[in-house]
């Protein structure tokens, strides 16, 4: 049996959860990410029955649909519809009258064990989702860095030990690779370009574990062909592991088809161009939100979001890779993110 410690694409062991400390709570309150939600993650654990959730082909999705008794539903469901109104309608509570909770699913696969709330508009049966999870400091840093440094906006709120996250729309990466790569050469080149840019975004801000089932692909029809945007949907591995390769999506075997497609359609000059384009875009975003980013990194550099052994391992790895000894002086993952941004941007 292979030693997982020697594998580049496997987490060393189950991830620790880190509490949200007062300084991070103050940051979240300052930027309207912290408020009284009325529901805690622990409240949703009071279900009395669950059944496996199957997909349209009858396959197990690894989610369980959970059920509550009448008294629990009367308490939970109005609070959950109110949360949806806060996130999506700026707290305009009149929309609650036309919303209802259609289903609650629970996933025991993965670190965060999320609840997925399906909410339906009673007027037209259109549905949406959001998630209820245990608040983890490293995940919150990941969500904030995504919101600040990527082209994507992230909707979420926290309250105590609970975090509420918007559903991120897109084709799951593993399904996209399986069903959508057989397209025109023009589209394939655009897919390769986006994967290079996504790879660069992840490495610059040290977001790990971006194998195909941890991101989605958003497809936009264009005048000729389609445009593609890869969006991370799992932020549990923000600045946690100690191996540099864990922060580069092209090292994961689940992404091999995208790597091979890139080798077919691009040379080093084209890859370098797209890397520089992404760095330029990140720099432009930093100029717009510099004070917010500095506030976030001030919290992060003091916070513990990974074991010291992993911090030391990643510091040594990045120092060797960049030929930059400043990394070796870093004592936290937050300090490593700052040094990484100093290398690639004008932070």
Q: What is the pLDDT of residues 201-211, one digit of tens each?
A: 999 999 999 99
pTM of structure: 0.93
- Measured between alpha carbons, how far is 165 from 136 in angstroms, rounded to an integer? 13
* Whether the predicted pLDDT of 217 surpasses 70: yes
Residues above pLDDT 90, as percent of the chain: 85
Q: Which helix (H) or strand (E) holds 302?
A: helix 290-302
- Measured between alpha carbons, how far is 276 from 279 in angstroms, rounded to an integer? 5
* Whether the predicted pLDDT of 7 surpasses 70: no
Q: What is the pLDDT of residues 47-102, one digit of tens each?
A: 999 999 998 888 888 899 999 999 999 999 999 999 999 988 877 788 888 999 99
Cross-strand bridge partners of residue 159: 162
What number is the average pLDDT over the span 216-225? Answer: 94
Only one residue has tokens 């949703």, namely 44
Q: Given this model, what pLDDT does residue 2 score?
A: 39
For the chain, what is the mean pLDDT?
A: 93
Q: What is the pLDDT of residues 141-187, one digit of tens each?
A: 999 999 999 999 999 999 999 999 999 999 999 999 999 999 999 99
Q: Which residue has the higher pLDDT, 315 or 15?
A: 315
Q: Given this model, what pLDDT does residue 100 score?
A: 94
Q: How confident is the model at residue 5 (pLDDT cuts 50, 70, 90)?
A: very low
What is the DSSP-derived secondary structure letter of residue 207?
B
* Whether the predicted pLDDT of 247 surpasses 80: yes
Dihedral sign of CA atoms 31, 106, 38, 89 in order = positive
Contact 173, 149 (CB under 8 A): no
């Amino acid at each position: 049996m292979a030693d997982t410690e020697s594998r580049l694409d496997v987490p060393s062991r189950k991830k620790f959860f880190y509490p949200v400390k007062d300084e991070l709570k103050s940051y979240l309150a300052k930027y309207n990410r912290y408020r009284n939600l009325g529901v805690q993650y622990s409240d949703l654990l009071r279900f009395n029955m669950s059944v496996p959730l199957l997909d349209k082909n009858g396959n197990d999705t690894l989610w369980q649909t959970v059920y509550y008794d009448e008294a629990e539903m009367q308490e939970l469901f109005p609070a959950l519809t109110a949360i949806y109104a806060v996130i999506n309608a700026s707290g305009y509570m009149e929309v609650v009258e036309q919303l209802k909770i259609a289903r609650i699913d629970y996933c025991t696969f993965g670190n965060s064990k999320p609840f997925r709330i399906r909410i339906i508009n009673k007027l037209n049966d259109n549905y949406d989702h959001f998630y209820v999870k245990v608040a983890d400091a490293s995940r919150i840093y990941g969500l904030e860095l995504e919101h600040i440094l990527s082209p994507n906006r992230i909707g979420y709120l926290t309250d105590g030990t609970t975090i509420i996250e918007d559903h991120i729309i897109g084709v799951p990466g593993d399904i996209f690779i399986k069903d959508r790569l057989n397209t025109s050469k023009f589209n394939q080149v655009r897919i390769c370009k986006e994967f290079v840019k996504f790879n660069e975004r992840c490495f610059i801000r040290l977001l790990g574990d971006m194998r195909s089932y941890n991101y989605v692909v958003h497809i936009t029809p264009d005048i000729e062909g389609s445009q593609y945007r890869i969006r991370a949907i799992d932020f549990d591995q923000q600045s946690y592991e100690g191996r540099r390769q864990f922060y580069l999506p092209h090292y994961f075997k689940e992404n091999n088809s995208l790597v091979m497609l890139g080798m077919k359609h691009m040379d080093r000059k084209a890859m370098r161009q797209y890397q520089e384009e992404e760095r330029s875009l990140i720099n432009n975003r930093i100029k717009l939100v510099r004070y917010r980013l500095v506030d976030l990194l001030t919290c992060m550099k003091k916070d513990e979001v990974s074991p010291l052994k992993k911090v030391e391992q990643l510091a040594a790895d990045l120092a060797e890779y960049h030929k930059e000894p400043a990394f070796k002086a870093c004592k936290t993952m937050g300090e490593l993110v700052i040094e990484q941004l100093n290398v690639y941007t004008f932070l």
